[in-house]
Amino acid sequence: MADKETSRVEAFSDGVFAIAITLLILEIRVPHLQSEAGNGALAGALRALWPSFLAFVGSFGAILTMWINHHEFFKLLHRVDRPFMYANGFLLLLVTFVPFPTAVVAAYLDRPGAQAAMAFYCGTYVLISAAYNLLWYAGARDRRLIRDGVPDRALRRIRNAYLAGSPIYLLATAAAFWSPLVAFALCTGLWVLWARLDYSWRPAREGS
């Protein structure tokens, strides 16, 4: 399976990312008020949806950053094979799953159960981080599917960033029992790391 095949897997993955990111909005529910409630009551009810807005923005940013990283990774590959496609499928399973823990956080962040809800949310990212490492293993172990010319140095830099993700998400999951908002900040703050991760490389020359 050569370049055309890589494009197809990329297009299907893009579709799943785009749909999952857009379905997030379905989790924000229109407030139901009694028929005599007026502007003040509706404004208050909309403000009371802050956990939904926060969870929406957080998960939107997370999926957007995952999408960007997914593509940058694919640009290092010259082909895909079946094991890689199943590793990619596992990652897409988890991307598709994200709207559910997002909805749980939106429903429970401002009431009892917030700790369990946030641990469930951060735990999803522990699995996602594992899925990215599995994808890396399926694609870059022994440079299996990697393009010629990508220097080992660039591969090590990216692999180390991927490996660093898992313990931080585990830490965030533990922190959820202490402070859900700190855990959320830790979970979504990792975007800054992923958004800045450098995939660029120059073809290796003499002595790279």
Contact between 30 and its own copies by CB under 8 A: the answer reads: yes
Residues in the chain: 208
Site for its own copies in 33-92 (CB under 8 A): 33, 35-43, 46, 56-57, 60-61, 64, 67-68, 71, 82, 85-86, 89, 92
Contact between 116 and its own copies by CB under 8 A: the answer reads: yes
C-beta of 18: minimal distance to its own copies in Å?
3
- Please work out the total of residues on this chain that contact its own copies, with binding judged by CB under 8 A: 63
Site string for its own copies, 159-198 (x = CB under 8 A): ------------------x-----------------x---
b/e per residue, 54-69, with b = 16+ CB within 10 A? bbbebbbebbebbbbb
Distance CA 175, CA 2 (A): 44
Give which of 104, 131, 105 is closest to 185, Cα–Cα.
105
- Residue showing tokens 């996602």: 128
The neighbouring-strand residues paired with 146 are 77
Distance CA 172, CA 23 (A): 25
Contact between 134 and its own copies by CB under 8 A: the answer reads: no
The neighbouring-strand residues paired with 77 are 146
Question: Taking a C-beta distance cutoff of 8 angstroms, is the pair 179, 168 a contact?
Answer: no
C-beta of 191: minimal distance to its own copies in Å?
10
User: Which residues contact its own copies (rule: CB under 8 A)?
Assistant: 8, 11-12, 14-28, 30-31, 33, 35-43, 46, 56-57, 60-61, 64, 67-68, 71, 82, 85-86, 89, 92-93, 96-97, 99-100, 103-104, 107-108, 111-117, 120, 177, 195
